């Protein structure tokens, strides 16, 4: 089992984070376009709508690459002295984040390209879950670093 993350794993982590933040910040254009579609109105080309669609697909690709690297290389173990409940919470949070970072772009693509309203509804609902899970993930990393004094946060900043 590796003791840390590679440069590519760290780069993918932070790139996906930045792209997810970008999706949240610049989502108004696609929300407006979707409302126009629901109202039966025509939607012209908007670069911010295209940005949202293609960034979502890029996130999907990067997450799949990240998962493939993790499957091949493994991931560093959590500290041995960490309580079992915290290990379970960490693994559950990571699993849920990976699932949502796959389901969000897929549901968005199905909604946008297929016009499936239920997919759009799911996409919108998952947005809140992503925010909650990112907050839990960040809080857990900060708790590890400042309270438990582990290297969990450091190893996602400094490559092997």
Alpha-carbon distance of 72 to 59, in angstroms, equals 20
Picking from 71, 94, 120, the residue whose alpha carbon sits closest to that of residue 16 is 94
How many degrees, rounded to 5, is the angle at CA 75 between CA 155 and CA 72? 135
Per residue of the chain (160 residues), give pLDDT as tens. Answer: 899 999 999 999 999 999 999 999 999 999 999 999 999 999 999 999 999 999 999 999 999 999 999 999 999 999 999 999 999 999 999 999 999 999 999 999 999 999 999 999 999 999 999 999 999 999 999 999 999 999 999 999 989 7
pTM of model > 0.85: yes
Longest pairwise C-alpha distance within the chain: 59
DSSP string, 92-109: HHHHHHHHHHHHHHHHHH
Residue pointed to by tokens 């990112």: 134
Domain ranges for the chain, please list them. Answer: 7-156
């Amino acid at each position: 089992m590796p003791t840390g993350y590679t440069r590519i794993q760290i780069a993918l982590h932070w790139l996906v984070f930045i792209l997810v933040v970008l999706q949240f910040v610049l989502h108004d254009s696609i929300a407006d376009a979707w409302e126009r579609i629901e109202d039966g109105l025509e939607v012209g080309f908007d670069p911010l709508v295209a940005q949202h669609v293609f960034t979502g697909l890029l996130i999907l690709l990067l997450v799949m690459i990240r998962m493939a690297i993790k499957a091949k290389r493994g991931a560093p173990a959590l500290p041995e002295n960490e309580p079992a409940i915290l290990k379970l919470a960490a693994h559950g949070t990571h699993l849920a984040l990976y699932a949502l970072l796959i389901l969000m772009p897929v549901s968005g693509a199905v909604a946008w390209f297929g016009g499936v309203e239920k997919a759009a509804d799911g996409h919108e609902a998952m947005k809140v879950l992503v925010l909650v899970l990112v907050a839990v993930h960040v809080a857990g990393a900060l708790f590890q670093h400042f309270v438990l004094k582990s290297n969990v946060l450091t190893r996602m900043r400094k490559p092997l």
